Amino acid sequence: MTRHPWLPNLGSVGEMMSSIGISSLDQLFSDVPQSVRLKKPLNVAGKPLSEQEIVRRLEELERKNTQLVCPPFLGAGACPHYVPQAVKFVIGRSEFYTAYTPYQPEVSQGLLQAMFEYQSYMAELLEMEVVNSSLYDWGSALSEAVLMAHRVTGRRRVLVPETINPFHLQVLKTWTYGRGVVVERIPFDHRGLLSIEALEAELSKGEVAAVYVQQPNFLGVLEEELESVVELAKKHGALSIMGVNPLVLGVVRPPGEYGFDVAVGDGQELGLSLNYGGPMVGFFAVRWEGRLVRQMPGRIVGLTTDSEGRQSYALVLQTREQFTRREKATSNITTNEALMALANLVYLSLLGPNGLRELDEEIMSRSHYAARKLREVGASLPYSGEFFEEFLVRFPARYSKVKERIRSRGLHGGLQLDENSALFCVTEVHSKDNIDKMVEAVAEVM
């Protein structure tokens, strides 16, 4: 190999070696014991491919994916939505795209202002005062919230609903296992809503660090009694954490209005492609209270001025981070999901308050249309609570058969939860025509 488009110095090796004063490249590794030197070259990825060949190989793989007529009727923590061209265009700007965390604020004002605006937009949406500039995803944001509650209260029990997204629950259990946090589940009622009685009973046993609720919950149902959750948590000295799909907040009451201590969730539904589940973007917000703000994980951008008095932006409260506090830090994170947060910001600024409300209304109409049509062909919705874009459907036939029939139309059904039920997701990417096709396929096996 003497030339390669990504390795510019292959032709300058001799010159560089003589500047260093060595006669062989091996001398650069004279401190690596022979016994740990690689004995034979690595066998990775075959021969170097040209750009054209890389594209061809990728297209070959793309053809192995099934091309569907429209995005799947699948949600469960990642819902398909239209991604506006302007979002793709802005996050593709390479000054943002190829930047690192803005450690040198004077040269990164644009990125910092964008992160401040992201925090500000999310703050309005959530009606919470302090938002960080993103975490990995909903599951890790929830985990960080619970670890924070554990630090703040010194307690180990955490109560979550049985209607928590099971993937978030698995992440929560993994992340908190090391600190000995015990996760307990609160049942739900016939409407699909969290049982407040059961919650109160568990809280009164004491030692609860945090109560978590999810809006809408995993069954797609909108929780209606969240004031009680906040009140009860407060009464028993636990932090209240609301996990929320930010997309619904165009029409639904935000966590701040209820008085939640912490809000977490994922911005995936605000302008991100599905990406097979990642990258996503976890958000994390707290009320205006010192013990919460100072224990909050993640990067925060704040307003300040420069030496000439101009409004400017910088990373703030960095003393909580692992650079100075090390093992006492509020979290171990360095990388976040800034570019995805930027996508959220661009998406929300395009929609504005009216666009967001209209989008929410459209999603509710279409999902309710799909639910009505499915009922008309003999399926049922087991829970009576109001829903947004996802809903649990029970079929008289086995769902595996239903799913197969839907697939035969080039569509992809919902997520199977038991032999006869599946969670369906319907959004603005599912046209009436495609919903009708899906229902027709279902009707054939009923």
Residue list 69-128, contact with other proteins (CB under 8 A): 71-72, 74, 76-78, 80, 82, 84, 86, 89-111, 113-117, 119-125, 127
Does 24 contact other proteins by CB under 8 A?
no
CB neighbour class for 444 (10 Å; exposed up to 12, middle 13-18, buried from 19): middle
Residue 154 interacts with other proteins (CB under 8 A)? Answer: no
Q: Which range, of 156-164, 229-237, 364-372, 437-445, touches other proteins by CB under 8 A? A: 364-372
Beta-sheet strands, E only, within 70-193: 130-131, 157-161, 182-186
Find the binding residues for other proteins in span 244-273 (CB under 8 A): 249-254, 257, 266, 273
- In the list 3, 190, 326, 418, the residue contacting other proteins (rule: CB under 8 A) is 326
The answer to the question of residue 28 lying near other proteins (CB under 8 A) is yes
Say if residues 16 and 9 touch (Cβ distance below 8 Å).
Answer: yes
| Min dist. Cβ of residue 81 to other proteins (A) | 11
> Which residue, chain included where needed, has tokens 């009685």?
197
The interface with other proteins within residues 3-22 (CB under 8 A) comprises 4-10, 12-13, 15-17, 19-22
| Size of the residue set binding other proteins (CB under 8 A) | 212
Residues 264 and 244: their CA atoms lie apart, in Å, by 6
* Measured distance CA(312)–CA(343) in Å, rounded: 22
DSSP 84-143: -HHHHHHHT-HHHHT----SSGGG-HHHHHHHHHHHHHHHHHHT-SEE-S-BS-HHHHHH
- Please identify which residue in 187, 206, 353, 396 interacts with other proteins, judged by CB under 8 A: 353
CB of 195 to other proteins, least distance (A): 17
Q: Binding other proteins by CB under 8 A: which of 189, 207, 231, 428? A: 428
**Residue 419 touches other proteins, criterion: CB under 8 A:** no
In the window 126-145, what residues touch other proteins (CB under 8 A)? 127, 129-131, 133-134, 136-140
Which phi and psi angles does 215 have, rounded to 5°? -130, 120
Alpha helices in 377-431 (DSSP H): 399-407
CB-based contact 406:412 (threshold 8 Å): yes
The SS3 call for residue 333 is: coil
- DSSP, res 206: S
Does position 66 bind other proteins by CB under 8 A? yes
One residue of 81, 155, 157, 366 binding other proteins per CB under 8 A: 366
- Element of type H or E holding 316: strand 311-316
- Give the one residue of 23, 69, 177, 398 binding other proteins; rule: CB under 8 A: 177
Read off the tokens for 340. 């995805």
In this structure, the strands spanning 282-286 and 130-131 are: antiparallel
Of 235 and 323, the one with the shorter C-beta distance to other proteins is 323
From the number of C-beta atoms within 10 Å of its C-beta (0-12, 13-18, 19+), residue 443 rates as: middle
DSSP 358: H
**Closer to other proteins at the Cβ: 202 or 281?**
281
Helix (H) or strand (E) run with residue 244 in it:
strand 239-244
Using rule CB under 8 A, residue 446 touches other proteins: no
Q: Which of 338, 393, 439, 445 binds other proteins (CB under 8 A)?
A: 338
| Smallest distance from other proteins to CB 396, Å | 22
Binding piece for other proteins, criterion CB under 8 A, among 196-204, 235-243, 297-305, 438-446: 297-305
Q: What distance in Å separates the CA atoms of residue 411 and residue 338, rounded to the nearest whole number?
A: 33
Q: Which is nearer to other proteins, 49 or 201 (CB)?
A: 49
**In the bound complex, what is the minimum distance in angstroms from residue 162's beta carbon to other proteins?**
18
Site string for other proteins, 230-249 (x = CB under 8 A): -------------------x
Quote the least distance from Cβ 236 to other proteins, whole Å.
22
| Amino acid identity, position 12 | S
